[in-house]
Amino acid sequence: MATTTDDKSEQTDTETGLELHRVALYGALLALVGAYLSPLYSGLTTAFKTQEAYRNTSPLQPPIEGVTIDPWLTAGSELAFAMVNSFAMVIPAAVLSALFGSLTAYGLTKVDWRGQVFVLVLFLAAVFIPYQAVLVPLRQFWSMVGLSQVHPRGELVELTITHIAYGIPICTILFRSYYQTLDSELIEAARLDGASLARIYRKIVLPLSLPMFAVTLIYQFTQVWNDFLFALVLLSNRSNYVVTLELNALQGSMATNYSVQMAGAFIAALPTILVYILFGEQFAKGQTL
């Protein structure tokens, strides 16, 4: 990430001011770490407390007396089937929208065609559309198609296809900006040798795209896993609930049991937190287009 080599801060620091200055800087940084982690911290301490301990101790206090993992077991057993549903939806959705995005960006970047910019403007706008603007027709559309009547899991397929369609624009934009930086000479040369577009994609572009696939897959995984609105509108059978929906239901039925709620929130967030910790750089790249 770092591109500048010069140090902007040290020059301003005189010999005597340096120490104090640095201390203040790290102080501020650490205070902010405290602020950013505090909701997670109070959630984590509470998730390990018995109801008794939760009532009698402050959320600041780590669980020392009255430690229990029961909230995790309760929340875990409530959320287990929904986690499975989420995975069943998110994996095909992320893979297919990334693949479509790559193909589309390739088709629109390395090929001469004047309409491509117009299509890209449509895609860019589609990234930012508030989903409320499509909810009613989406509901209508899927109810007419009626996959849910064909198979009990039909709703989940409907949701997956919807996520693929809505993931394509962002994936295309991400791949497009990446493909623009690719060396076009190699491709032009292959073209002159008479290679087909499909062959060029397979032999040259796809292998070069792997880092970008990591970025888009991580982006889509996080987006789709975290989605609540589409699931809320499209899923009506409890057995198809994805984890965000089931977590909301859990919160509703465990209204005052914060321990179970917090454990549930951590369980539901675990896959995205893991992905984030393992692939932080790619995650950041996806967010900044």
Partner 1 sequence: MDSLRNSIKRLNPLSASDSDFFESMPFWLPATALVLLFVYGAIGWNVIISFTGWSGLGQPDYTNFTLEMYRQMPSDPNFMASLRNTVALLVAFTGVSLVVGLGLALLVDRKIRFESTFRTIYLLPMALSFVVTAIFWSWMYASNGLIDTMLNGIGLGWLSQDWLGDPRFKLAAVIVALIWQFSGYCMIVYLAGLRSIPNDHYEAARIDGASTLKLYWRIIIPQLRSSTVGATVVLMVFALKAFDFIYVMFGTNPGRSADILAVTMYREAFSSSEWAYGAAIAVVLFALALTIIGPYAYTQYKRGAL
Partner 2 sequence: MLQATGAVGLAAFAGCLGGGSEAGNLDELLEDDPDEFEALEIGHWWTAGGEEAAFEALIEGFEAEYPDIEVDSSPSPGGAGSALETDIKNRVVDQNPPSTFQIWPGQALTEYTDEDLLYDIDGHVWNDEMREAYLDGPIDVSRPDGEFVAVPINIHRLNNLFYNVDVVEDADVDPESLESPSDLLEAMEAVDDAGFVGMAQQTQSAWSTMQLWAQVLLGEYGADVYDSFIEGDLEAVESEIRASLELVVEYSEYFNEDASSMNDWDDASDYINTGDAAFFHQGDWAAGQYEGEDDFEYGEDWDHVPFPGTDGMYALNMDSFVFPKHNPSPNATVRFLQYAGTTDAQERFNPHKGSIPPRTDVSDEAFTPFLQDQMADFEASTEQPPSVTHGLAVAPSIQTDVEGAFANFIDNWDVDETYDDLVSSFD
Stretch of 65-73, 150-158, 178-186, 206-214 contacting partner 1, by CB under 8 A:
178-186
Residue where the block lists tokens 């929906």: 245
134 binds partner 1 (CB under 8 A): yes
Cα distance between residue 275 and residue 263, in whole Å? 19
Residue 206 partner contact from partner 1, partner 2, none using kind-dependent CB cut-offs of 5 to 8 Å? none
Which of the 8 DSSP states describes residue 110?
S
Which residue number, 84 or 273, has a Cβ lying nearer to partner 1?
273
195 binds partner 1 (CB under 8 A): no
Q: Is the dihedral of CA 14, 17, 20, 24 positive or negative?
A: negative
Which residue number, 88 or 127, has a Cβ lying nearer to partner 1?
127
SS3 for 67?
strand
146 binds partner 2 (CB under 8 A): yes
Contacts of partner 1 in 18-57 (CB under 8 A): 25-26, 28-29, 32-33, 35-43, 46, 55
125 binds partner 1 (CB under 8 A): yes
Contacts of partner 1 in 64-103 (CB under 8 A): 100-101, 103
50 binds partner 2 (CB under 8 A): no
* Buried b or exposed e, range 215-254, using 16+ CB within 10 angstroms: bbbbbbbbbbbebeebbebbbeeeebbbbbbbbebbeeeb
288 binds partner 1 (CB under 8 A): yes
Residue 148 partner contact from partner 2, partner 1, none using kind-dependent CB cut-offs of 5 to 8 Å? partner 2
Q: Residues, the chain, total? A: 289
Strands (E) in the chain, as ranges, are: none
Residue from the set 86, 109, 148, 282 that interacts with partner 2 by CB under 8 A: 148
C-alpha angle 208/102/99, rounded to 5°? 110
Which residue number, 37 or 189, has a Cβ lying nearer to partner 1?
37
Which residues lie below 8 Å from residue 218, measured CB to CB, with a gap of 6+?
Answer: 275, 279, 282, 283, 286
Cα distance between residue 266 and residue 76, in whole Å? 10
Residue from the set 236, 270, 280, 289 that interacts with partner 2 by CB under 8 A: 236
How near is the Cβ of 94 to partner 1 at its closest, in Å?
15
Residue 108 partner contact from partner 2, partner 1, none using kind-dependent CB cut-offs of 5 to 8 Å? partner 1
Contacts of partner 2 in 154-193 (CB under 8 A): none
How near is the Cβ of 88 to partner 2 at its closest, in Å?
20
Structural contact between residues 152 and 237, judged by C-beta atoms closer than 8 angstroms? yes
